[in-house]
Amino acid sequence: MWTLERLQEAFDQDAIDTVVAAAVDMQGRLMGKRFHAAHFLAHGWEETHCCDYLLTVDMEMTPVPGYAAAGWDKGYGDYLMKPDLATLRPLPWLAGTALVLCDLLHPVTHAEIAQSPRAILKRQVARARAMGFEAMMASELEFFVFDTPYDALRDAGPVQLRPVAGYNEDYHVFQTTKEEPLMRALRNGLHGAGIPVENTKGEAEAGQAEVNIRYADALRTADNHVITKTATKEIAHAQGKSVTFMAKYATDRAGSSSHVHQSLWGADGQPAFRDAAAPLGMSETMRRFLAGQLAHAREITLFLAPYVNSYKRFCPGLFAPTKAVWSVDNRTAGFRVCGAGTGGVRVECRIGGADLNPYLAFAALLAAGLAGIEQGLALEPAHSGDLYAATDAREVPATLREACEIAATSDWLRAALGDAVVDHYVHAARWEIAEADRAVTDWDLRRGFERA
């Protein structure tokens, strides 16, 4: 990361002239302003402001009525945007540009806004530290790449979607060679922005790719996640292509996931999930952590799959789980133990799609895992075989409506995240459901236009 002094040097050398100051909204997008570097260095690094409607809008930026935090009845005032200078970095893919992430604060009290995604995660990280743990995470991001730029797709409509590959390219080196101008620019750009990118690869569908970032503490991983998504879109746009992180962009295609790898480290800097003498090398702490996530898996699915479209990814045979159970190295389960018997033993949650907000997903997963430790929960037996065919296993909620109502009525979730947070994101989900319910889809037209 850069310091203000390093930014000043880059400005003096005419290497940087613009600083993007951005907060994260409910959808996990970067929202903010572009400062001239001279003003940012003089004053902007201390604070700036944004409209508080940014935590009440839907994907279309429509101000949604009915939120307690902000609304027309309160006049849509300001939030204070406080730059977190620990996140200051150059963006090599944008000429002369640096980025800093901001926390959202009350303009008078300077308290963090409870419903802000970054604040929600920070509270759970603090809770883990109070218990003597550092939460470490990594997220794998899948996405589809298309030959057509966003502007052309908007004009022509989605019927013109043409992925960059014509066949499943999972691990294919030759097909990904064709995509290398984009992926090389992405890897090098992320590296130059201080994000420890490990690799990119072809995924299990035509035109699908994956980018993997090295694990880090939970907050830094979430920051890296949202910057990586923005970088991927910006670099693709610059090359005349487009990408999508939708959970499911086409009925006959596999979905895109965001698997989350998790472990806890102790105050001594050693992995708290590791016990070489225990079965699979899983410590009692790890077993209780996983037990908590299983016990509360259905309650937190809203934060792993936040849209109506998210649930269309949960299809048997397409590597997205339908059962919220655990297994050892089995990709049909919602939770997979990876690295069994090694120092890297960890829990992988496979439920979330690429459309999740990482701050919310990480916070919910961490809250559930810590609850398992606090309550001393016993871990249920592992499942094996084809979990899609299992009839006696805990189900992942099948729709956003189901997940929303489970979250809304969960006393545990309200105690863990707070009523204000749960009510805020349940309201967002109910709006999403209502908007989807009234929309006429291509499926409606194909099925009923002539025959109805």
Q: Using CA atoms, how far apart are residues 253 and 262, in angstroms rounded to an integer? A: 28
**Which residues are within 8 A (CB) of 334 and not within 5 positions of it... i.e. 6 or more apart?**
297, 321, 322, 323, 324, 325, 326, 349, 350, 351, 396
Q: What is the pLDDT of residues 381-425, one digit of tens each?
A: 998 888 888 888 889 999 999 999 999 999 999 999 999 999 999
Alpha helical stretches, state H, 157-305? 173-178, 180-192, 218-238, 284-295, 297-304
pLDDT tens per residue across all 452 residues of the chain: 999 999 999 999 999 999 999 999 999 999 999 999 999 999 999 999 999 999 999 999 999 999 999 989 998 999 999 999 999 999 999 999 999 999 999 999 999 999 999 999 999 999 999 999 999 999 999 999 999 889 888 887 666 688 988 888 888 889 888 899 999 999 999 999 999 999 999 998 888 999 999 999 999 999 999 999 999 999 999 999 999 999 999 988 999 999 999 999 998 889 999 999 999 999 999 999 999 999 999 999 999 999 999 999 998 877 888 989 999 988 888 999 999 999 899 999 999 999 999 999 999 999 999 999 999 999 999 988 888 888 888 899 999 999 999 999 999 999 999 999 999 999 999 999 999 999 998 889 888 988 89
- CB-based burial label for 444 (10 Å; 0-12, 13-18, 19+): exposed
Q: If residue 102 lies in a helix (H) or strand (E), which one and from where to where?
A: strand 97-105
- Report the DSSP pairing between strands 97-105 and 197-202: unpaired
Q: How many CA atoms lie within 13 A of 268 on its CB side?
A: 3
Please, are residues 359 and 367 in contact by the beta-carbon 8 Å criterion? Answer: no
Torsion of CA 388, 389, 391, 395, to 10 degrees: 0
Closest CA to 48 of 80, 17, 7, 88: 80
- Looking only at Cα atoms, what is the longest distance across the chain? 69
* Domains of the chain from N-terminus onward: 4-113 (3.10.20.70), 124-445 (3.30.590.10)
Closest CA to 53 of 26, 82, 73, 77: 77
Closest CA to 336 of 377, 300, 382, 298: 382
